Structure 1
């Protein structure tokens, strides 16, 4: 694939232009995107990514276009998984909803910068040291194993990484207790201090570095073209901010996403090791000669990745666990909304909130206790919240 300086320049200008547009027209003025706004811009970035694949098809052929699409879909799935950790971080720091866009955009820009560095390093390594495919493959197999282990034992590696980053950032930076809008620095009693906003960005930036270790080997398992790796990664990150607000309530319902990602990473890890054996030059393996093994075609990889993601999403949304989680989340959500109504709230609004809470209250009462125990971090607090809202509802009705 012959990509000259002109094509690279145009690509970089387009990506930087989209990021600048995102900042000046959406993020600079703090607000919480509406569902319509998030849906429109998420669609725009996905369509842009798909059209870019057609450009590659037109200029460089179907093989490279297939590699791009396989890389884009894999990176997009990994990026959605990253949103879980971003949610935990922003929840840990209680970031006001209207300022979360700025944090997310920073995370996207930092991820793009860090992954570009990893891409350049990875491209150099695999072009110089063919045996690096063995290393990349083993990294992905270990990552897949850790994901499965975390799901089976209930230990969330992403949360552990997040907690470590948060503790490290808090220890190093002197920050105020309160936010000052979306400023990074504030003045308290004549003393300049960092705000929690900076702390959040540092935590997300450091976490992005950890994600890059999984992300870049995964896409290099699908293509060794640095241009495809970079553009697929960049387009997978673009629109992630809007996607966060669009599927915010859906993220937690993807209960089997980690299993799907583990299978995908394991599959790509095996594909990398097969490729390494096919190109082998290590003297202690087959006397330094290539090993005659079957390789997985990129078209097959794309079909396998799409199939795994489809099955994962369908199972997540239709499983008993997924449906139970929806009930738990909505019961807590509408309980909070009902209790937050002011005393002089409009009667129509109060009636609507009451009706929604009533619906999910009744469904929550039908849940098996094991789901409540498994799906809530603090069972007693969750039940107390529902009973408080129910008591308020009875008082209002009386």
Structure 2
């Protein structure tokens, strides 16, 4: 896809404007987010993603549009898996419900900036070293197997463990003994102190980056266009805050989600390996088209959701 500098600048400007609108309309004042508010904004972000996909179709044809939708659905699905960890983080730091939407907003913005850096680095590596597809493919297949093992071990019930970065922040910077509204840093008795709000925000942002280690290679398996990779990630992330409040109560019912995601990541890993073989001169290796990829992802997620809800209802009847 031929993307001019003007289109890049315009796209980034529009995304920044949308984030600003989201903040000033729904996130500026700390409050408990209702189901109605979360549902409204979730629909808004989905519609915006659909409109952007329509724009790509008009601008560059069905190929780039299909790649965007496949990438968007994949990233959105992986983001839902992130929400399990976000729930654990919120519980560990005892974040008041009125402040949770602010934590998620700032955390997602941090994640978006860091993912943009990851995407730029990934695009540069792919442009210089085509063999990286072998590495990406093998990594995704390994990740798929790891997801299955974690699902069997019921890893979602494990406690959240802080990463080294967070431990270093808490160890070296003096902190308050409680929240100070939505402030990240305060001055008390002449000392500058960080608040738990800063720590939990960093936890959300940096934890999402750890998930990006899986999701960035996955979307590069669907498209190598940095513009599509970035915009698919942006639209998937920017609706994550509202999705957290909308389906927070349903997360425990998606008992087969990890299995579905493992199938998708494994499929994309195989697709990358076949593409790498084709690029290396093995023209016998088949190339999996984007239409088939998109259909496969939608079918797997649909089946996973249906079987999850059925299993949850059956378990509820057994526990009644």
Deviation at 1:154, TM superposition (A): 3.1
Q: Does 1:307 align with 2:299?
A: yes
Q: How many angstroms apart in 1 are the aligned matches of 2:107 and 2:121?
A: 21
1:259 is aligned to 259
Q: Provide TM-score, normalisation by structure 2.
A: 0.94
1:323 is aligned to 313
Q: How many angstroms apart in 2 are the aligned matches of 1:143 and 1:158?
A: 19
Q: Provide TM-score, normalisation by structure 1.
A: 0.76
Q: Which runs of 5+ in 1 are unaligned?
A: 281-288, 328-362, 369-398
Q: How many angstroms apart in 1 are the aligned matches of 2:60 and 2:70?
A: 16
Q: How many angstroms apart in 2 are the aligned matches of 1:160 and 1:180?
A: 23
Deviation at 1:98, TM superposition (A): 0.6
Deviation at 1:156, TM superposition (A): 4.8
Instruction: Give the secondary-structure state (helix, strand or coil) at the position aligned to 1:246.
Output: helix
Is 2:173–2:193's contact at 8 Å kept on the other side of the alignment?
no
Instruction: Give the secondary-structure state (helix, strand or coil) at the position aligned to 1:258.
Output: helix
1:367 is aligned to 319
Q: Compare relative contact order (CA 8 Å, sep 6+) and give the higher one, 1 or 2.
A: 2
- Over 3 Å counting, the alpha-carbon distance change for 1:158 and 1:273 in structure 2 is farther
Deviation at 1:267, TM superposition (A): 0.5
Is 1:184–1:197's contact at 8 Å kept on the other side of the alignment?
yes
Q: Does 1:73 align with 2:73?
A: yes
Q: How many angstroms apart in 2 are the aligned matches of 1:301 and 1:9?
A: 30
1:179 is aligned to 179
- Over 3 Å counting, the alpha-carbon distance change for 1:201 and 1:121 in structure 2 is same
Q: How many angstroms apart in 2 are the aligned matches of 1:75 and 1:97?
A: 26
Kindly name which structure, 1 or 2, has the bigger radius of gyration based on alpha carbons: 1
Is 1:169–1:203's contact at 8 Å kept on the other side of the alignment?
no
Instruction: Give the secondary-structure state (helix, strand or coil) at the position aligned to 1:293.
Output: coil
Instruction: Give the secondary-structure state (helix, strand or coil) at the position aligned to 1:193.
Output: strand
- Over 3 Å counting, the alpha-carbon distance change for 1:161 and 1:56 in structure 2 is farther
Q: CA RMSD in A?
A: 2.0
Query: Which aligned pairs between 1:35-54 and structure 2 lie closer than 5 A?
Result: 35-54=35-54
Decide which moves more: 69-78 or 177-186: 177-186
Q: Deviating runs (4+, > 6 A) in structure 1?
A: none
Q: How many angstroms apart in 2 are the aligned matches of 1:12 and 1:39?
A: 25
1:59 is aligned to 59
Q: Which runs of 5+ in 2 are unaligned?
A: none
2:26 is aligned to 26
Q: How many angstroms apart in 2 are the aligned matches of 1:154 and 1:246?
A: 23
Q: Does 1:236 align with 2:236?
A: yes
Q: How many angstroms apart in 1 are the aligned matches of 2:253 and 2:164?
A: 25
Q: How many angstroms apart in 1 are the aligned matches of 2:117 and 2:161?
A: 21
- Over 3 Å counting, the alpha-carbon distance change for 1:293 and 1:277 in structure 2 is same
Per-residue displacement from partner, 1:238-274 (whole Å, max 9, x unpaired)? 2111111111111121111111111100100110010
